Chains A and B, each alone.
Chain A
């Protein structure tokens, strides 16, 4: 077992999430609202897709050591793809390398040959898909059997989505045994495998950063808005100063400085993985420290509005102190804003990671991430013929994750905001 820092934080977040969900399910009126707001087919689907992403991310966060290499459970699941490499680019479902390779026959003649791929076992694709359909349906059926024990109202949308997800995953797995479904990249790594591995990086950047942002934004935002006076002045000065420095500059400076620190103290890290993980964590913290100002400003404005409400005055007359009022009355009324911001930030952060990798201050180049994949796609798109599969792989998974996260956030907002009119199915 190897425990990386981001693993710890990710599991901590999962525990928090589990507690929150338990808290919601325990209160019947909240559970009802959540079920109501999640009942439309598109929301059911997005919840299930998001869960799948989270499960993949979690599988990829359980690390262990094998032959001096750090592997995750996801690597085991994706064996043998995770252990095999071609020599360079190959197209999706190809049986030979994409690049022709020069071979000298004798002193004068040069022949261009294409090399066969090593790890491809070309069985008919349709046959494999058929097998995937059958095995996937069985898996979906089993999953639904288990789910029925815990939830009594599984609707058509849930059933259809479960089958779709199960069949897709199983089919992909079977295809991966025989082909490179999305081809391979420059160094010969299977692109689909790389895309799957990037899910964890996306999740970590999107959630751990938020974890860093929230305490600052909520504490400072509500205090500034509620207490006014010099507290407000100080907090406003701090965040105005912070937000007037260009974000990328601040991040680049911080990352490069800490990079130097890391390489000076190389002996801290016994494994490569630990080192690149530390760099991801640092990126999260710095992104968080530079981005809490936006949410803080919104929360301060909303608190200014809330503090004038009569119920706050009543609470004051009842003898509640500042922190009690903020905790009981202000923060619950800010919950929907916080959740929407988390969801929007989540996608923005995943995108920010791509931008920062481009500048060269993103995650470690050895870490699989959509940012790194898109970054390398820059050169690949400029070639003739175009190599499009890296971009498509990164883009489609990133798109699915961000979209389902946004739809899910809408559902939670509707459930938490009692003033929201009951949602008409969309």
Chain B
């Protein structure tokens, strides 16, 4: 159906996509896999011919959709192709919908002509949205993330396209929602006999869902195979490295926890008041964290698992003492707490050099320079990095700097709030290794907040599972993961994509 031959893309004279070829058959789910900056999104945009204005196609490039050469079309013809034969789903459902238009209006824009209500409802039924008739009058903010993504899929399907391009369609969603959305996409393309180009950085996700897999690295396709075969016998060193970096295939030396208890919380509550009326009277509470108890020993890693909105980040902030609304009992003695955040971009002040960011924590020491050099060495960064700005280093390096900064105050406990979820798999593996190494060397205790169960398996000693502010399950790693008791935990474990499975 879609045939790409010798596709090259230059931007400002730089070769960003290098001579790639692949083809997608009808009723097939083709996964284009790669880390950030590998050129996979550029490839998707090039099929839509929506590349930025300063981009150029290579001389021999050819993109054929149902025997029609897309690169030879005029802009007007291309618009028709886009409207009738191509559909695209973007990563972030929050920004892909216009917040001031109802779902029904946006949907009818996607359909050719003026559709009647039944047609719109049937579209929404196709993507399995409950009560579709009422949803038509809803605004985007009234729907959950997963629902929004379903609406976007419905919009993409409205023109009955032959090829659907999904650029990281589930990255912004929770694991359980992610599994549902992907199942929906798979069902639809098999039922309608369409083709799906599925762009992702998540190997496990591709493994579970795609029929064909192509791995992109620095603009080239380094390996292409049927997905079952790929995971059994990857040949290329790059794809081998990707496979090895998967949490399922990693092995980390965990520290041995001692029996000395250093942190405990009893009936910890964070209720945010809901105020209304002119006098701002409190009419109710949002129970972000509700009656949470846990204990933590030295050199132990406690994983807090839950989907977004479950209160796990609020719990972290409450332990740090940042929330005046927190009630209950936290005994943390004289132990020092530190934190590592999910987004290393916003965690470093863009106006400060690495040196200045680090020096903030060691104000009272004499030999600051020496301490900084030592810390940079500990997190595996060269010394001269201290003179750089945050934007001059990569995401993984930035996360290492954040770890070094956390270490400046000689903490006993570090709260890691999704520290690897914005990183590529191979970088994630390195950061996790670093974290366990530091745990062994410095005797650190971690509270590891994550939505990714596979990481829990890898580095936690104890787990608590949170759902809607409450702990639904807690205990040792083996116990929780191997014999889950609560329904939510089971659902969470089932939706995790896994290569082994």
Contacts and interface: CB of A to CB of B under 8 A. Distances in A.
Interface of A: 29, 309-311, 313-318, 320, 328-329, 332-333, 335, 418-419
B348 A311 contact: yes
Contacts of A310: 341, 343, 346-347
B351 A317 contact: no
28 contacts: A29-B353, A29-B387, A309-B347, A309-B349, A310-B341, A310-B346, A310-B347, A311-B349, A313-B322, A313-B341, A314-B339, A314-B341, A314-B347, A316-B322, A317-B338, A317-B339, A318-B360, A320-B360, A329-B349, A332-B352, A333-B349, A333-B351, A418-B350, A418-B351, A418-B389, A418-B390, A418-B391, A419-B391
Given A317-B322, A335-B351, A418-B391, A311 B346 contact: yes
Nearest to A315: B360
Contacts of A335: 351
Interface string B285-303: 0000000000000000000
A418 B345 CA distance: 13
B257 interface: no
B359 to A, nearest CB: 11
A335 B352 CA distance: 13
Nearest to A311: B349
Nearest to A420: B391
Interface residues of B, number: 25
Given A328-B360, A332-B351, A333-B350, A314 B387 contact: no
A332 B405 CA distance: 20
Interface of B: 320, 322, 337-339, 341, 343, 346-353, 357, 360-361, 387, 389-391, 402, 405, 409
Query: Which of the listed residues A315, A318, A329 has the most CB atoms from chain B within 10 Å of its own CB?
Result: A318
Given A314-B347, A328-B349, A332-B352, 17 more contacts: A29-B353, A29-B387, A309-B346, A310-B347, A311-B349, A314-B402, A315-B360, A317-B320, A318-B360, A328-B352, A329-B351, A332-B349, A333-B349, A333-B350, A333-B351, A418-B350, A419-B350
A327 B352 CA distance: 12
Query: Which of the listed residues A29, A315, A418 has the most CB atoms from chain B within 10 Å of its own CB?
Result: A418
Contacts of B353: 29
Nearest to A329: B349
Main secondary structure of the interface of B (DSSP, over half): mixed
A335 B351 CA distance: 10
Contacts of B339: 313-314, 317
B16 to A, nearest CB: 17
B318 to A, nearest CB: 13
Contacts of A418: 350-351, 389-391
Contacts of B387: 29
A310 B419 CA distance: 13
Q: Which 7 A-B pairs have the closest CB atoms?
A: A310-B347, A332-B351, A310-B341, A311-B349, A309-B346, A310-B346, A418-B389
Contacts of A332: 349, 351-352
Query: Which of the listed residues A313, A314, A320 has the most CB atoms from chain B within 10 Å of its own CB?
Result: A314
A311 B405 CA distance: 11
Contacts of A317: 320, 322, 337-339
A318 B409 contact: yes
A322 to B, nearest CB: 14
B394 to A, nearest CB: 16
Nearest to B406: A314
Nearest to A312: B349
Contacts of A311: 346-349, 357
Nearest to B348: A311
Query: Which of the listed residues B350, B405, B409 has the most CB atoms from chain A within 10 Å of its own CB?
Result: B350
